Homo-oligomer: A and B are copies of this chain.
Amino acid sequence: LNILVEKLYATPVHMQKVEMVERKGLGHPDHITDLACEAVSRELSRYYMKNYGKILHHNVDKGLLIGGSAQWEFGGGKVIEPIEVTVAGRAVKYVELENRAEGIPVDEIAIKAVKEEIRRNFRFLDPDKHMRIYVKIRPGSAELIKTFDKGVEVPLANDTSIGVAYAPLTTSEELALKLEMYLNSSEYKKIRPYVGEDIKVMVLRIGKKFNVTVASAFVDKFFSNVQDYLSVKEEVYNDILDFISRFNLDYDELNLKLNAADDPENMNIYLTVTGTSAEAGDDGNTGRSNRVNGLITPSRQMSLEAVAGKNPVSHVGKLYNVLAYRISKRIHEEVSGVEEVYTKILSTIGHPINEPQLVNIQYISKHKQLSIEDKVKKILEEEFSPDRLRKLTDEILNGQYLLF
């Protein structure tokens, strides 16, 4: 394992004067596109595993969501033109068994995966009524399956790419992430069913002053006039303030804005039929939403790789990002004295995934004299063991990581 551990002399982000953090929530068009691609990869993986004992090659990490057209109305409006979601990429469509070729209903699996993912995550967005799902998955070359051939060897990296992650989150980052998750939790939806899923949180910290900007869709059918909307909005505004106070945020000044672009006099208010702005024109692409820790952090080192839709076996653009996330977290938790740690992993195309070109650990220590190399190496050796890597694949499939 080619490891390079470097002590970084730098102001940790939480001590810098300015921080900007963003979380694109569940119903954001880019996030829906990520959900779609990832659901397809997950269900393909399961189908391959169930039928052939291993996850065959696929990569469906390119997606496009074309916003629809809708007409909200007090009491409940209509989606006039559906949202179009396309998932594109490659997947094995034929396997060669001992004496015959067998086809794999990739399109059917894919469409079903996307629809179920939508149904699982949304209450008012009906994939049959409000969406059209398109699949543009071209066949990869047929794979020859031998029965004994069940994942004994370590997969080869299918690209030269870089995984990046860090730990720990700053308070601003925690806030952005947790606030969106709270507003999109089933508990909260129970008491405030009219809050849509398309929620975006932006936190700007300047010293101890916090500007929290929340844009949240509301669902039209719960409202009968503008007054209704305005009073509910105030309610939600107060919920957010309560949440922040339970969060024990240490601040001098707090500015909260909820749907700042509203102009109620001209009936410009953020109502939707389905809970997402995708119904009325906002488009989306895969890999343009949050990073593997659920956040967009322009002040940080980041990967540009889309994690969603890549296969969790050999596609290092996915594996190494999740792994960097795990490693950063473990180092921060297990190695005392580490204030901030950045992990970058670089693959070499065609080499086993447990033999990266380089694992680069950068850390900011709380003390001058800290040496962490040995402990880090131990963690890395554990994390890069073939067994652990296989487990990582399983964990990704089981939904143990946010991914985006």
Residues of A within 8 A of B (CB): 4, 6, 8-11, 16-18, 20, 22, 61-67, 69, 71, 78-82, 84, 86, 88-90, 93, 102-108, 111-112, 115, 128-130, 132, 134, 136, 138, 160, 162, 164, 202, 204, 206, 211, 213, 215, 260-261, 281, 283-288, 296, 298-304, 306, 344, 346, 348-350, 357-358, 360, 362
Q: How far is the CA of A115 from the CA of B61 in the complex (A)?
A: 25
Decide if A285 touches B285 in the complex (CB within 8 Å).
yes
User: 21 A-B Cβ contacts within 8 A?
Assistant: A8-B11, A16-B362, A18-B360, A62-B64, A63-B64, A66-B138, A69-B103, A80-B107, A82-B108, A86-B86, A90-B283, A107-B132, A111-B128, A128-B128, A138-B281, A204-B358, A261-B350, A285-B286, A285-B306, A287-B287, A299-B344
Decide if A64 touches B67 in the complex (CB within 8 Å).
no
Q: How far is the CA of A210 from the CA of B381 in the complex (A)?
A: 25
Decide if B202 touches A160 in the complex (CB within 8 Å).
yes
Decide if A304 touches B300 in the complex (CB within 8 Å).
no
How many copies of this protein are present in the complex?
4
Decide if A11 touches B11 in the complex (CB within 8 Å).
no
Given A88-B283, A288-B304, A301-B300, residue A93 in contact with residue B111 (CB < 8 A): no
Residues in chain B near residue A286, CB distance under 8 A? 285
Residues in chain B near residue A64, CB distance under 8 A? 62-64, 86, 88, 285
**10 extra interface residue pairs, beta carbon distance < 8 Å, beyond A4-B206, A84-B136, A260-B349:** A18-B362, A62-B66, A62-B285, A67-B138, A78-B105, A80-B107, A108-B130, A204-B346, A260-B348, A298-B302
Residues in chain B near residue A306, CB distance under 8 A? 285, 288
Given A162-B20, A298-B162, residue A283 in contact with residue B89 (CB < 8 A): yes
Decide if B79 touches A108 in the complex (CB within 8 Å).
yes
Decide if A93 touches B80 in the complex (CB within 8 Å).
yes
Residue of B nearest to A108 (CB): B129
User: Which of B104, B130, B281, B302 contacts A90 (CB under 8 A)?
Assistant: B281
Residue of B nearest to A158 (CB): B261
A262 to chain B, nearest CB (A): 10
Residues in chain B near residue A348, CB distance under 8 A? 260
Given A62-B64, A357-B211, residue A20 in contact with residue B349 (CB < 8 A): no
Q: How far is the CA of A93 from the CA of B78 in the complex (A)?
A: 12
Decide if B80 touches A103 in the complex (CB within 8 Å).
yes
Residues in chain B near residue A213, CB distance under 8 A? 160
Q: How far is the CA of A157 from the CA of B281 in the complex (A)?
A: 18
Residues in chain B near residue A344, CB distance under 8 A? 18, 20, 298-299
Decide if A298 touches B288 in the complex (CB within 8 Å).
no
Residues in chain B near residue A285, CB distance under 8 A? 62-64, 285-288, 306
Q: How far is the CA of A170 from the CA of B130 in the complex (A)?
A: 49
Q: How far is the CA of A362 from the CA of B300 in the complex (A)?
A: 13
Residues in chain B near residue A129, CB distance under 8 A? 105, 108, 111-112
A216 to chain B, nearest CB (A): 13
Interchain residue pairs A-B with the least CB separation, the first 10: A10-B10, A64-B64, A80-B103, A62-B283, A18-B360, A71-B103, A6-B17, A164-B298, A285-B285, A78-B105
Residues in chain B near residue A301, CB distance under 8 A? 298-301
Q: How far is the CA of A61 from the CA of B8 in the complex (A)?
A: 37
A340 to chain B, nearest CB (A): 11
A344 to chain B, nearest CB (A): 6
Residues in chain B near residue A136, CB distance under 8 A? 66, 84
Residues in chain B near residue A102, CB distance under 8 A? 71
